[in-house]
Amino acid sequence: MNQLRIAVINGGDSAEAEVSRSSARGVITALKENFDTVVSVELDANVTTALADCQPDVVFPILHGPPGEDGTLQGFLEILGYSYVGSDVHSSAFAMDKIIAKQVFRDAGLSVAGQVVVNRNDGVADAVARVSRDLGEYVVVKPACQGSAIGVTLIDNVNQLHEGIEEAFTYDQRLLVEERIDGREITVGVIDTDTGTDPFQVIEITTPDGTWYDFDHRYTAGWSEHLMPAELPAEQTSELQRAAVSAHQALGCRDLSRADFVIQDEAIYLLEVNTLPGMTPTSLYPDGARGYGLDFPDLVKYLVVRAAAR
């Protein structure tokens, strides 16, 4: 098994490229504990040649945001005939598009926040008017197809709403605007096994007062705290784990994913599912895996072996 050749694709030109490279360095180091040939491949115009030179048995995408997480890279790898870690084309595309994903969640009976979808072609003024009318001004503005909270703004008033929508339109043509739910930020990773899908322990994410789990707090050491297991009633813990597994399966995800939630009192709201969760030293998915019994080298080995078996 240690003779498997692995290409770790990372980087590119997305807004999350540096996070991808940081994750990849850690993954490569961990993979080298079990495999002799692990090659870093930059996602650029030379990626086809780099893969051909490497001739990998397995490709491990360590990418966040489009085009690495939205099905584009996955389709490219399938056309070229490479086995790869993670979800396939369709489930990657569905999960990355927050608007489509939420419809899948609703169809699966999972609880989600109220929303309005707005389009850049209709203009900022129309978007502000629709959101104010249907949801009010206490909302969250999100680009439909970005990750790591890029372009996300928490809104308190109409002036902020106008600015937040205008900024988010620089990242995406479609925006998901949701009712703003104040509560505890929760995440649950899941992993596929030969017998089904297992949830990890529930993790609560805390940040300093007056802040939230934005891009900086996700990737800066010491700016957030992961409480595992989260101090929750047993019934609520089980409900969160069931919802994470249901969301993974409803989207058709493969190998791994991480579901993010917010809890307000006893109500649980599913926010989104990440098909390629972060793998940096401050990332949540590796924390959950350790609670499940897989240290980082064992985790990445397990994912590579599953992909190789396909």
Active site residue 16: yes
Domain limits of the chain? 5-85, 94-111+182-309, 115-179
Active site residue 278: yes
Active-site residue identified among 274, 285, 288, 306 = 274
Please state which architecture CATH assigns to domain 5-85: 3-Layer(aba) Sandwich (3.40)
What is the rounded average pLDDT for all residues in the chain? 92
Name the burial class of residue 209, with classes exposed (0-12), middle (13-18) and buried (19+) by CB atoms within 10 angstroms of its CB: exposed
Active site residue 65: no
d(C-alpha 18, C-alpha 13), whole Å? 9
pTM of the model: 0.91
Least reliable range by pLDDT among 40-54, 127-141, 231-245, 267-281: 267-281
Active site residue 148: yes
Name the burial class of residue 122, with classes exposed (0-12), middle (13-18) and buried (19+) by CB atoms within 10 angstroms of its CB: exposed
Active-site residue identified among 185, 204, 239, 272 = 272
What distance, in Å, lies between the first and last C-alpha atoms of the chain? 14
Query: What percentage of the chain has pLDDT greater than the value 90?
Result: 82
What does the pLDDT look like over 193-220, one tens digit per residue?
999 999 999 999 987 766 655 555 555 5
**Buried b or exposed e, range 28-67, using 16+ CB within 10 angstroms:** bebbeebbebbbbbbbeeebeebbeebebbbbbbbbbbbb
HSE-up of residue 306 (Cα within 13 Å, Cβ side)? 18
Q: How far is CA 290 from the centre of its chain?
A: 18
CB atoms within 10 A of CB 200: 26
d(C-alpha 2, C-alpha 33), whole Å? 9
CATH superfamily of 115-179: ATP-grasp fold, A domain (3.30.1490.20)
What does the pLDDT look like over 21-39, one tens digit per residue?
988 999 999 999 999 999 9
Fold held by 94-111+182-309: D-amino Acid Aminotransferase; Chain A, domain 1 (3.30.470)
What integer pLDDT is reported at residue 224 of this predicted model?
A: 72
What integer pLDDT is reported at residue 65 of this predicted model?
A: 81
